[in-house]
Structures are given as C-alpha cells and as structure tokens.
C-alpha cells in the first residue's frame, strides 16, 4: 500500500509539472475522441457530472450516491477501474440502485476526504446528504481505498449502503 | 425574451415533475450511447468536468474560463448550442485561449448567477478567480443570456475577456 501511495504522489508530481509545460499534446489537425463522463468506469451507466448534480439526484430519487475519486494516469486507479467496469454484479447494482459520480478533481466538501485526499478512493453518501464515513475498505491507512481484489468487499459495501438506507430512513 | 423566460420556466417545471416519476426512460436491454462532456457544444474541444477543475486549469494555464449554463431539453439552449458548435471562429478561440465548462446544474457559487439562475447563460471568470460580471450580452433583463443571432457579440466578449487579461494582470 505504501508503494501505492508513493505512485500516487508521483502521479500528482508528474501532473503538476506537466501543467507548467505548453499544453495541447493532441496535434491540432487530428480528430479528438469526445471525452465521456464514464471515463471507462462503465460506459453503459448513467453518470452525474458534478457533485451538486449527484446530490440533487440522490435526494430526488432517494438513492445512495457513490463517489469514485481517481486519476487517469494512476496505475492503481486504472486497475481498479478495469475490475469495476468488468464486474457485472457491481455494474448492475450501480445502475439500478445508485447515483454515481467519478471525479478526477477534488470537491470543496471536506466530508468527502475523511482521511485525506488520495486516489483511488470510494465514498458513499446517503440521500440525506450524510457522507457514510463508516463504510470503509480493508486498508487501515487508507480507509476508502480499494484494490482490484476487493470487488466482493465493494459489492458488500454497496449493499450495506442500501441496507442502512432502508432501516435508517 | 419574456417568451424565452416562460419556456425556460416551463422546462424547469417539466424537469421537476419528471423527477417524481419512475426513472429509466432508456430500456434496460438497449445499448446506451456514452454521455460526453461536450454535450454537443463542441465535441472537438476539451471540456472541464466540474467548476473546481475548471478553476484549477484556468489558474494553472492563465486562461480565462467560460462557463455555459444550459438545459438539454430547453429549446433556447439547444438553438444557442447549435450556433455555438457551428461557429468556427468561436470554437477555435475557445479551444486555443479558454478553459471551457458547460453545466446543466447550478454550482454553489453565487457569483456565477449575478442576476439569477436561468438558461442559457454564459459567464466569464478570469484566472484570478474573479467572475467578470461586466461582460454581458444584449438583454437588460437577462444580462448573461445569448441567442443564436448574438454569436458576433459573444465572440467580441470572448476577445474582451482575453484583452482584460493582458492589460489587467
């Protein structure tokens, strides 16, 4: 996991240093592929664009919100994304019962980073707009991190987010 | 213009009433087209996803930010989108010199709605994170609204946002 954190830091440093350079890596004349909201986390799912939009839909539909923080260039994010996108049970449950949002930039809401800003991390928010800081993964030093091997835990955490919804509200 | 406002209100009312109904208008088995960040405002441009991301890029690249508020089902938004996407000069200037963001949900930043929340409206923000409330369209009752016939004014407002940037900073 420490290795993971170091990689993430490295990615952040690379990202920051890349910002200083002249942009436009895509040559002008070449046709760009339009960016998608899914960013590869499930092209068949309906993604919210912003946290505000996601909260609005969560309240309107009375569905829990799942927020995935990731970085496009981070190998840990990439491998989690692959596992997430390929897991049919997770995709179906996300599609049926959740409002979903994936972000490559942090929001201003500090409740979404209970133990710091790192990627990848997954937070659940219930329709009353309470961040479910109690739904955690298996790493004590990064409570909301998941690895590709943790898909069963993630699925059971999704079910927990739904169960609390029914018993608590 | 009053007609425009009424239509927008009607769209908002329709949207709100639609929320109460069971969702999923797309049949489950049909393949969905992945949502794009451009939403038709220029598939070849690079769009920010969130306001936070847009502000970050605006500061990092020292480029003004253009924020377009719109609604997918609003006919005024649709016709402005068509004019915007087809205007080569605007598309090129947006691509070269601006950070761009289109939103269908309001942000929590009240500076982005100096005279209210309506669609379509276009706001400029400079890299010092100041909303350029002085850059307005031609309608006194909706200062930041544009119609398809206003593309020349929009282009000149974009140039103004760039000019102030050079002389003021």
State yes or no: pLDDT of A1 exceeds 90: no
pLDDT in tens, B9-39: 444 444 444 444 444 444 555 788 889 999 9
Residue A30's pLDDT is what? 77
CB contact under 8 A, B105 and A37: no
Residues 6+ apart with CB under 8 A from A12: A71
Measured between beta carbons, the chain A residues lying within 8 angstroms of B105 are: 49-50, 52-53, 56
CB contact under 8 A, A50 and B19: no
Residue B11's pLDDT is what? 44
CB contact under 8 A, B34 and A32: no
Q: Which segments of chain A does DSSP mark as H helices, in order?
A: 2-20, 51-61, 75-86, 88-97, 151-168
Angle formed by the axes of helices B75-86 and B2-20, nearest 10°: 110
Judge whether A47 is closer than 8 Å to chain B, CB to CB. Answer: yes
Of B34, B105, B107, the CB nearest to A43: B34
Judge whether A49 is closer than 8 Å to chain B, CB to CB. Answer: yes
The residue that leads in pLDDT, A103 or A12, is: A103
**Alpha carbon of A32 to those of B34, B45, B46, B81: distances in Å?**
16, 8, 9, 19
Nearest CA in chain B to A24: B96
State yes or no: pLDDT of A17 exceeds 60: no
Judge whether B50 is closer than 8 Å to chain A, CB to CB. Answer: yes
Residue B29's pLDDT is what? 59
Measured between beta carbons, the chain A residues lying within 8 angstroms of B35 are: 36-38, 46-47
Query: What CA–CA distance (Å, rounded) separates B48 from B28?
Result: 29
Task: Give the mean pLDDT of chain A.
Answer: 86
CB contact under 8 A, A32 and B46: yes
CB contact under 8 A, B19 and A60: yes
CB contact under 8 A, B107 and A50: yes
**Interface mutation vs chain A, best among B22, B40, B50, most A CBs within 10 Å:** B50
Residue A33's pLDDT is what? 87
CB A51 within 8 A of CB A108: no
Residue A21's pLDDT is what? 43
Measured between beta carbons, the chain B residues lying within 8 angstroms of A31 are: 44
pLDDT in tens, B90-108: 999 999 999 999 999 999 8
Whether ipTM tops 0.90, in short, is: no
Residue A167's pLDDT is what? 61
Q: Using alpha carbons, select from A142, A163, A157 the residue that is nearest to residue A90.
A: A157
Residue A161's pLDDT is what? 96
CB A70 within 8 A of CB A77: yes
CB contact under 8 A, A37 and B35: yes
Ranges of chain B whose pLDDT falls below 50:
1-3, 5-26
Q: Which residue has the tokens 């949207």?
A: B15
Measured between beta carbons, the chain B residues lying within 8 angstroms of A61 are: 19, 23
């Amino acid at each position: 996991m420490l290795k993971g954190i170091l990689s993430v830091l490295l990615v952040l440093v690379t990202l920051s240093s890349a910002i200083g350079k002249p942009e436009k890596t895509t040559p002008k004349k070449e046709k760009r592929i339009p960016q998608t909201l899914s960013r590869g986390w499930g092209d068949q799912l309906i993604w919210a664009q912003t946290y505000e939009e996601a909260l609005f839909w969560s309240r309107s539909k009375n569905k829990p919100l799942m927020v995935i923080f990731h970085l496009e260039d981070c190998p840990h994010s990439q491998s989690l994304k692959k596992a997430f996108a390929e897991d049919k049970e997770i995709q179906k449950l996300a599609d049926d019962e959740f409002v979903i949002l994936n972000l490559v930039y942090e929001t201003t809401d500090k409740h979404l980073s209970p133990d710091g800003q790192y990627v990848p991390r997954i937070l659940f928010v219930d329709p009353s707009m309470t961040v479910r800081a109690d739904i955690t993964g298996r790493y004590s030093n990064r409570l909301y991190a998941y690895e590709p091997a943790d898909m069963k835990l993630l699925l059971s955490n999704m079910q927990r987010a739904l169960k609390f919804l029914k018993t608590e509200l």
